[in-house]
Amino acid sequence: MENKKPKVLIVDDDKFLLNMYAIKFGKNNFEVNTATTGEEALTKIRDGYNPDIILLDIVMPGMDGFGTLDTLKKENLASSSLIIMLTNQGQLADIEKAKSFGINGYIIKATTIPSEVVEEVTRIYNLEKK
């Protein structure tokens, strides 16, 4: 059995949160890459980066998380990646819209401490990779 670190791409315009999550995931045996915009994330993926997991915020300047999801699907990018929304948008309409893209999980930042985010992402990853 191969024992590689799962690759996670964290996409969030809040640099403080981005750095905090990057450190937390790095300390928990993940290989971390970050992007501060949907466009930056798409460029990395188009250039050949193939993450196991994409953590995606919804509210970002320019292209929001839904636009990023839409582009990923339309261009068939990162089709083997698990996509987990990591956002403060807790409204049912946002959750349903995200689910319509076939995401693997939805985590609300405001009600989840970073260690719980890592635990939930790890749980989803382990479930989906079986």
3-class secondary-structure state, position 106? strand
DSSP count for the chain of H helices, then E strands: 5, 5
Radius of gyration of the chain (CA): 13
Q: How many CB atoms lie within 10 A of CB 3?
A: 5
Tens-digit pLDDT string for the chain (130 aa): 356 899 999 999 999 999 999 999 999 999 999 999 999 999 999 999 999 999 999 999 999 999 999 999 999 999 999 999 999 999 999 999 999 999 999 999 999 999 999 999 999 999 987 6
What is the C-alpha separation between 55 and 48, in angstroms, rounded? 18
Is this model's pTM higher than 0.75 or not? yes
pLDDT of residue 129: 78
For the chain, give every domain's residue range.
7-128
Asked if the 7-128 domain carries CATH number 3.40.50.2300, the reply is: yes
